A and B are shown apart, each in its own frame.
Chain A
Amino acid sequence: MYKTDVRGKLIDGEKSLSQISQEILAPIDAKVPKWWYIAMGISLVMLALGVKSIYITLTQGIGTWGVNSTVAWGWEIINFVWWIGIGHAGTAFSIFLLILRQKWRTAINRAAEAMTVVAVFCAALFPLMHMGRPWLFFYIFPYPNTRGPLWVNFNSPLFWDFMAISAYLLISASFWYFGMVPDFATIRDTTKSKIKKAIYGFFAFGWVGSSREWLRYEGLAFVLGGIAAVLVVSVHSIVSTDFAVSIEPGWHTTLFPPYFVVGAIFSGFAMVLTLVTLMKKLYKMGDFITENHVDAVCRILVFISLIMGTAYITEIFIAWYSGSEYEMYTFFKNRITGEYAIQFWGMFIFNALLPQLFWSRKVRRNLWVVFVISLFINLGMWFERFNIVVTSLSKNYLPASWAEYHPTFIEIGFFIGTLGMFSAGVLLFFRYIPQIAISEVKMISKYNTQQTDHLKPGHHHDYE
């Protein structure tokens, strides 16, 4: 049973159901604000830079990047893991908070899921483009062929990874989409524009809100939610096996799967916080995304950052405890004190120490501070991946082959391109898709109304 007094009110302002629809749908019908165009313009310029970088990569080769025979993975894998991590937010939000029966998630999960889909798209670009011969990517499918048939290597973490990402992309996209179907129906039925009616009508798949639809819809949500919960854990665990299964010092550790999953959720939640604060300010969704929501996310971040800190320290401890000189060198001479110390300490401070500010209620309630800290966490998580990918590779077993890695403008351009793609995607989401799950918000709105007589003890409301 949910107690509103713990978390405060979920929706500010006494709103009727119709008001909820109207206010959430306002950005779709309203005149597009100028900043949107500016932001979209910037995003597209960034995207164009990315497209150009990809073009150069495709036509000339990966040699245009800074990677070399020693550090064969660079920014592209860092960015891949980073984006995949961010892409964990949506599912983690929806699923874990659903399992934990946290009703406040309803205001945020739509945005989080949208972010997930765009982020996973961004992420998927990197492994594809970092292949030497991306036009032969289909070799990775285990399909019957006329080569024997020659199958794939089921032992390879990259194959697992490929499966995991494809599955995750498909599932998170369908989860997101089917969550929107009733809302599309709402738009269809409330809009005055004929074009919108036709378009949203098409995407609503003929939804009318009948009980037989809702019944199956609930069933579908249950199934997708259930398996997606497994996925949240499995995807980043599998991504972590890209490293953990290898023999590189600093990679070869059993700590990685939980460490990566928690890290992913951490970065995802930080990105959610970034977006939500923007939504709250830019679209005046303050009534739905209340200070309480922000507060709740901050509290989760504090908790996760403690886990992150523990993971970092555990990693270092294990390196020492293992007695392996290669591990010890990687951690003590290369990460903590070596030429990559900046990235290590950036990671440690931004991820493990800075979020501790959220212990203070004052900080949690200051939207700007929260926004800035969320950005730092994103940066810190990027450093974490840099720390893992580059430092281990650059100085591993044979000192003769130690080499440095410096990114080139092509790699940086590619990353900026995905940032542009992400922000463009998010802007389109703001513009054309209900930012908040209307039907779900309506469902919880009753907890805000005066009709408390239906909340009599013994009267059970345990759906969801």
Chain B
Amino acid sequence: MITNRKYLVGVFDDEHTLKDAFQKALDKGVVIEEVYTPYPIHEILHGMKNKTNITTAAFFYGLFAVVMLIGGMYYAAVVDWPLHFGGKPFNTFPSFIVVTIVATILTITILTLFTFSARAKIFPGKKEEIIDIRATDDKFIILLDQDKMGIDKPEVTKLFQANGASEVYEKESN
């Protein structure tokens, strides 16, 4: 985090007031830095205009895994060292399907986890950057960067307070 940024923090008590304030702030053209909530709220995620392609990535991981697995098994069982098992042909494709399904799922899971970890910056040993410690308990926080919020500070404060913010305060990042 770049040092010495001034923030404006709006604290809300429940989801509904937060959503109203959030929507109204957006309508007024306020640039919202981040929103912290105890649980996911769809409108907020939508309103933040962030997008994630994690599902698309997962699909490609799957595609990659399927190709690799079937190819690998075909190579091992037919090309590299064909062995006779129970009078079956070397290429026992139906048997490959089972392993392919399961191993694909495994591959997707592992790769998606890493992707999530990398993209959401959630990984072991990460130092949490807490704006308001109550955000994981019962408070809903809207964070504005005072330099970039695109609106006056008092106006925002008023907007928040008018929409049910229990607190509005300033905070400096170190």
Please list the residues of chain A having a beta carbon within 8 angstroms of any beta carbon in chain B.
Answer: 16-18, 21, 142, 148-155, 159-160, 163-164, 166-167, 170-171, 174, 178, 181-182, 185-186, 188-190, 201-202, 204-220, 222-224, 227-228, 230-231, 234-235, 238, 241, 438-440, 442-443, 446, 451, 454, 461-463
Contact = CB atoms under 8 A, between A and B. Distances in A.
Contacts of B170: none
Given A186-B136, A208-B131, A223-B58, A170 B52 contact: no
Interface in B77-117: 77, 80-81, 83, 85-86, 88, 92, 95-96, 98-99, 101-103, 105-106, 108-110, 112-113, 116-117
Contacts of A152: 76
A142 B165 CA distance: 59
B137 A18 contact: yes
B149 to A, nearest CB: 16
B102 to A, nearest CB: 5
B38 A160 contact: no
A189 B137 contact: yes
Interface stretch (B2-10, B42-50, B155-163): B42-50
A439 B135 contact: no
Given A167-B103, A186-B136, A241-B98, A211 B37 contact: yes
Contact of B106 (A166, A182, A206, A222): A166
B123 interface: yes
A188 B128 CA distance: 10
Main secondary structure of the interface of A (DSSP, over half): helix
Contacts of B136: 182, 185-186, 188-190, 207-209
A167 B102 contact: yes
Contact of A18 (B48, B85, B138): B138
A167 B101 CA distance: 10
B124 to A, nearest CB: 6
A206 B121 contact: yes
A148 B81 CA distance: 8
A163 B99 contact: yes
Given A219-B54, A230-B101, A207 B122 contact: yes
A223 B80 contact: no
Interface string B134-167: 1111100000000000000000000000000000
Nearest to A206: B126
Given A159-B99, A230-B105, A218 B36 contact: no
B82 to A, nearest CB: 10
A116 B86 CA distance: 36
Q: Which of A154, A211, A454 has the most CB of B within 10 A?
A: A211
Nearest to B44: A211
B172 interface: no
B40 A154 contact: no
B28 interface: no
A267 to B, nearest CB: 21
23 contacts: A16-B138, A17-B14, A142-B72, A151-B77, A159-B99, A164-B102, A167-B106, A178-B116, A185-B136, A188-B128, A189-B135, A189-B136, A201-B128, A206-B125, A206-B127, A215-B52, A220-B112, A220-B120, A222-B55, A238-B98, A442-B138, A443-B40, A463-B40
3 shortest interchain CB distances as A-B pairs: A206-B126, A17-B138, A219-B54
Nearest to B101: A234
Contact of A216 (B48, B52, B106, B126): B52
Contacts of B40: 214-215, 217-218, 439, 443, 463
Contact of B137 (A164, A186, A207): A186
Given A153-B85, A219-B116, 20 more contacts: A17-B38, A18-B137, A149-B81, A151-B80, A160-B99, A164-B102, A186-B38, A189-B133, A202-B124, A208-B36, A209-B37, A210-B36, A216-B54, A218-B40, A234-B98, A439-B38, A442-B38, A443-B40, A446-B15, A463-B40
